[in-house]
Amino acid sequence: MTRDGLKILIAQAGPDSNRYPFRSHPLGLMSLAAYVEREIPGTSVDALDMKVSDARPGDIGRIAAERGADIVGLSALTVHWEEMAEAARAARAAVPGALIVAGGPHATCFSGRVLDSGLFDAAVLGEGEKPFLNIVRARMRGERPEGIPAVATPQRPVPDVPRDVLDDPDALPFPAWNKINLEAYRRRCSFSVMGRRNHMSLFTSRACPFECAYCHNIFGHKFRPRSAHNVLAEIRAAHSLHGFSDFDILDDVFNLRRSRVINICRGLIDDGPKISMAFPNGLRGDLLDDELLEIMREAGTTFISFAVETASPRLQKKIHKNLNLDKLAAAIRKADSLGIFSNAYCMVGFPTETESELKSTIRFVAKSPVNIAHFLTVTPFEGTRLYEMLDEETRARAARAPGDMRYEDRAFNLSDIPDSKFRRIIHLGLMRFYLNPFRAAKIILRHPQPKNLLAFARMAFNRIFING
Ligand code: B12
């Protein structure tokens, strides 16, 4: 049976809660929608991000029924698996004939568990465009989604081909900006500098060749960058169609290929548009040099998160990040001298971490000119190499509570430092960092969004006196 005009609803599950206020655009859903509609004309895809919507997971059934959905695709981070399961249950009850498909980070990492729930007909592993398109095509032929590369099903829980990615990411259409409620993201905190901004998220490359032990690698290790030409075209289209002049670039490792970064920046400097660029997800500091930072600044870079993780060379090795700390420190200083607002992401509480290693990380950051610091307690996600390093008892605790692995959660101090001392050191570190008058003055003078300074002050207060 061939039938066009298929209706598809894809949704990202999660609460719209202030407990974790940051929001970024659901680029995965936006890309799937644009790709499927382009490849199968006549198909219509609706996208819904529950993290910025009044719709609760239980409402997905009603929404799917109202739209007459033939396929309901659901995505979530592992922390929001329960919401995703509830949405699937609601969809199954309301549109029993629809195909219910899981995708996104949780389905990628835990496809077996997702299918064992009995709520899904299929789970897509990793990059979703090609597998999802193949599922839609199979449905149009009246076939079950069996034997499709990168698609697990209850009958075949391990796909024959584990991933099915696009070799040339330039072949993707730009994300479907028209499928989401753009206004909802303007009203919420962006991932960058704690503020409400008229910004758009951007993903300019897929995959990361590094093997950091704590990472759930979604796109694999073969770095697939979009060309500078293609990235510039997306920026220009988002700017001219929707007026965005502020971009959050969320790649895993945007600056892996120096020449590409230079070409993107050169294009912006020479031919515009004039935009501001932020890198809230972290750049690799040891792959930045003076000249590169200068051109990035000239092209509009206002904010960089430096993914420090730890200042202990031993731990850098143990977690397979192998960051060159001297190069990182030099890049932080250079960014500061160029007036770029910056953040340091640190992970604290690694297995075997000692008191002196923890203090060395805090000292590294406190002595550096970064404007914001995060000391996030390491969360041992199942399915990562870090998790494999744990003993049975700690693993069991981690596996029992995936929903509890929330931001800045203190439940898993895996280090050799007793809990109370661990907390005290971090608390004192945060005080030393934020209560430095020179840093405070610089934050006020340099903040790229002065109207968000109050929100920033509230965040720093919470971090020092509540979370810290
Ligand atoms: C931006 C971002 C965020 C944003 C929000 C992201 C969101 N979607 O809600 C913020 C800052 C809020 C965030 C927070 C956290 N994040 Co985060 N984040 C990211 C980041 C850097 C980019 C996401 C993105 O836009 N990707 C680009 C798009 C194109 O990819 P995608 O969304 O994965 O979609 C593709 C596929 O997954 C698939 N797909 C997606 N949806 C669907 C749906 C269907 C039906 C199908 C078939 C396929 C499919 O196809 C898409 C296109 O190929 C990723 C890293 C990464 N490489 O993706 C981490 C990542 C998603 N985050 C991660 C984590 C762990 C967290 C935190 C839990 C960290 C922490 N301990 O605090 C918190 C959660 C806090 C909370 N309580 O909500 C992990 C998730 C692992 C997991 N198993 O859940 C990732 C993968 C990082 C990593 N490499 O480990 N994050």
Polymer length of the chain: 468
Q: Ligand 1 atom 24: the closest Cα is on which residue?
A: 27
Is 204's C-beta closer than 6 angstroms to any atom of ligand 1?
Answer: no
Is 250's C-beta closer than 6 angstroms to any atom of ligand 1?
Answer: yes
CA–centroid distance, 216 to ligand 1, in Å, is 9
Contact 347, 384 (CB under 8 A): no
Q: Ligand 1 atom 5: the closest Cα is on which residue?
A: 24
Is 380's C-beta closer than 6 angstroms to any atom of ligand 1?
Answer: no
Q: Is 171 exposed, middle or buried (0-12, 13-18, 19+ CB in 10 A)?
A: exposed
Alpha carbon distance 12, 55 (integer Å): 11
> What type of residue is 93?
A
Most ligand 1 atoms within 8 A of CB, residue of 24, 108, 110, 283 to mutate: 24
Is 25's C-beta closer than 6 angstroms to any atom of ligand 1?
Answer: no
CA–centroid distance, 329 to ligand 1, in Å, is 28
Alpha carbon distance 211, 436 (integer Å): 35
Is 210's C-beta closer than 6 angstroms to any atom of ligand 1?
Answer: no
Q: Ligand 1 atom 40: the closest Cα is on which residue?
A: 104
Query: Residue 1: its pLDDT value, please?
Result: 37
* 281 CA closest ligand 1 atom index: 21
Q: Ligand 1 atom 72: the closest Cα is on which residue?
A: 407
Is 174's C-beta closer than 6 angstroms to any atom of ligand 1?
Answer: no
Is 49's C-beta closer than 6 angstroms to any atom of ligand 1?
Answer: no
Query: Residue 393: its pLDDT value, please?
Result: 84
Contact 206, 219 (CB under 8 A): yes
Is 280's C-beta closer than 6 angstroms to any atom of ligand 1?
Answer: no
Alpha carbon distance 325, 323 (integer Å): 6
CA atoms within 13 A on the CB side of 68: 5
Query: Residue 367: its pLDDT value, please?
Result: 96
Is 145's C-beta closer than 6 angstroms to any atom of ligand 1?
Answer: no
Alpha carbon distance 317, 298 (integer Å): 34
* First CA to last CA distance, the chain: 59
Name 10's bridge partners. 47, 73
Is 366's C-beta closer than 6 angstroms to any atom of ligand 1?
Answer: no
CA–centroid distance, 82 to ligand 1, in Å, is 16
Task: Name the residue ranges covered by the structural domains of the chain.
Answer: 7-152, 189-467
Is 134's C-beta closer than 6 angstroms to any atom of ligand 1?
Answer: no
Is 104's C-beta closer than 6 angstroms to any atom of ligand 1?
Answer: yes
Is 177's C-beta closer than 6 angstroms to any atom of ligand 1?
Answer: no
Q: Ligand 1 atom 48: the closest Cα is on which residue?
A: 103
Name 12's bridge partners. 49, 75
| SS3 sequence of the chain | CCCCCCEEEEEECCCCCCCCCECCCCHHHHHHHHHHHHHCCCCEEEEEEHHHCCCCHHHHHHHHHHHCCCEEEEECCHHHHHHHHHHHHHHHHHCCCCEEEEEHHHHHHCHHHHHHCCCCCEEECCCCHHHHHHHHHHHHCCCCCCCCCCEECCCCCCCCCCCCCCCCHHHCCCCCHHHCCHHHHHCCECCCCCCECCCEEECCEECCCCCCCCCCCCCCCCCEECCHHHHHHHHHHHHHHHCCCEEEECCCCCCCCHHHHHHHHHHHHHHCCCCEEEEEEEECHHHCCHHHHHHHHHCCEEEEEEEEECCCHHHHHHCCCCCCHHHHHHHHHHHHHCCCEEEEEEEECCCCCCHHHHHHHHHHHHHCCCCEEEEEECCCCCCCHHHHCCCHHHHHHHHHCHHHCCCCCCCCCCCCCCHHHHHHHHHHHHHHHHCCHHHHHHHHHHCCCHHHHHHHHHHHHHHHHHHC
CA–centroid distance, 35 to ligand 1, in Å, is 19
Lookup: tokens for 402: 């995936």
pLDDT tens for the chain, 468 residues long, are 334 589 999 999 988 877 777 899 999 999 999 999 999 999 999 999 999 999 999 999 999 999 999 999 999 998 899 999 999 999 999 999 999 999 999 999 999 999 999 999 999 999 999 999 999 999 999 999 999 999 999 999 999 999 999 999 999 999 999 999 999 999 888 888 766 778 999 999 999 999 999 999 899 999 999 999 999 999 999 999 999 999 999 999 999 999 999 999 999 999 999 999 999 999 999 999 999 999 999 999 999 999 999 999 999 999 999 999 999 999 999 999 999 999 999 999 999 999 999 999 999 999 999 999 999 888 888 888 998 888 888 887 766 654 455 544 446 788 989 989 998 999 999 999 999 999 999 999 988 888 888 888 887 888 777 655
Is 282's C-beta closer than 6 angstroms to any atom of ligand 1?
Answer: no
pTM for this predicted structure: 0.95
Inter-CA distances, 174 with 23, 140, 169, 259, Å: 20, 25, 10, 22
CA atoms within 13 A on the CB side of 321: 28
Superfamily in which the 189-467 domain is placed by CATH: tm_1862 like domain (3.80.30.20)
> What type of residue is 331?
A
Is 371's C-beta closer than 6 angstroms to any atom of ligand 1?
Answer: no
Alpha carbon distance 324, 197 (integer Å): 33
CA–centroid distance, 193 to ligand 1, in Å, is 19
CA–centroid distance, 356 to ligand 1, in Å, is 33
Is 175's C-beta closer than 6 angstroms to any atom of ligand 1?
Answer: no
Architecture of domain 7-152: 3-Layer(aba) Sandwich (3.40)
β-pairing, 301-309 with 276-283? parallel
Most ligand 1 atoms within 8 A of CB, residue of 218, 250, 281, 409 to mutate: 218
CA–centroid distance, 188 to ligand 1, in Å, is 18
Query: Residue 408: its pLDDT value, please?
Result: 44
Alpha carbon distance 123, 111 (integer Å): 6
CA–centroid distance, 77 to ligand 1, in Å, is 6
